[in-house]
Structure 1
Amino acid sequence: MFFKPQLLRGAALGAVMLGMVAPHAQAQTPDRKTALSANVGLLQYRGNMGSDFWNRSGNDLMVGGGGAITRYLSPSFDVALLGYYETYKFSSELRAGENFDARIGMVDLGIKLKLNNGKILKEESFIQPYLMGGGGMFLANSSGRANGQDFGINQIRRPEVFGQAGLRFRLSEVVSLDLTTSYHYPFTERVDNLYGPTVNPDKLYDRFLLHQAGITVALGKAKDEDKDGVSDKKDKCPGTPAGVAVDPNGCPLDKDGDGVPDYQDKCPDVKGVAALQGCPDRDGDGITDADDKCPDTPGKAELGGCPDADNDGVIDQNDKCPGTPAGVKVDANGCPLDRDGDGVPDYQDRCPDRAGPASNKGCPEIKAEAKKRLQEATKFINFEFNKAVLLPSSYPTLKDLAALMSEYPDYTMSIAGHTDSKGADDYNLRLSYDRAASARTYMLSQGVPADRIESRGYGETKPIADNAKAAGQALNRRVEFDLYLTGEPNSAEVKYGPAPTISELQKTPEGRPTAGKAPVKKAPAKKAPAKKAPVKRK
Structure 2
Amino acid sequence: MKHLNKFVVAVLMFAGLSSQAQDKNNPWAFSFGVNAVDGGRVSAAESIKNQFSEYFNANDNWSVVPSVSYFGVSRYVGDNFSFGVTGSFNKIEKFVGPKFDGDYVVAKTDLAYYGIDGVINYSFGTFVKYFEPTAHIGGGYTFLGDNSAGTVNGGLGLNIWFSETVGLSLRSTYKHSFEDDRTVMPTHMQHFAGLTFKFGGKDTDGDGIYDKDDACPEVPGLKQYNGCPDTDGDGIIDGNDACPDTFGLAEFQGCPDTDGDGIADKDDACPEVAGPKALNGCPDKDGDGIADKDDNCPEVKGPKENKGCPWPDRDGDGVLDKDDKCPDVKGTVANNGCPEVTEEVVKKLNDFAKSILFDTGKSTIKASSFETLASIKNVMNEYPSAKFRIEGHTDNTGKLATNERLSKERAAAVKDYLIANGVDASRLESEGYGPSKPVADNKTAAGRAQNRRTEVVVIK
TM-score (norm 1): 0.40
Q: Based on CA coordinates, which of the two structures has the bigger radius of gyration?
A: 2
TM-score (normalised: structure 2): 0.45
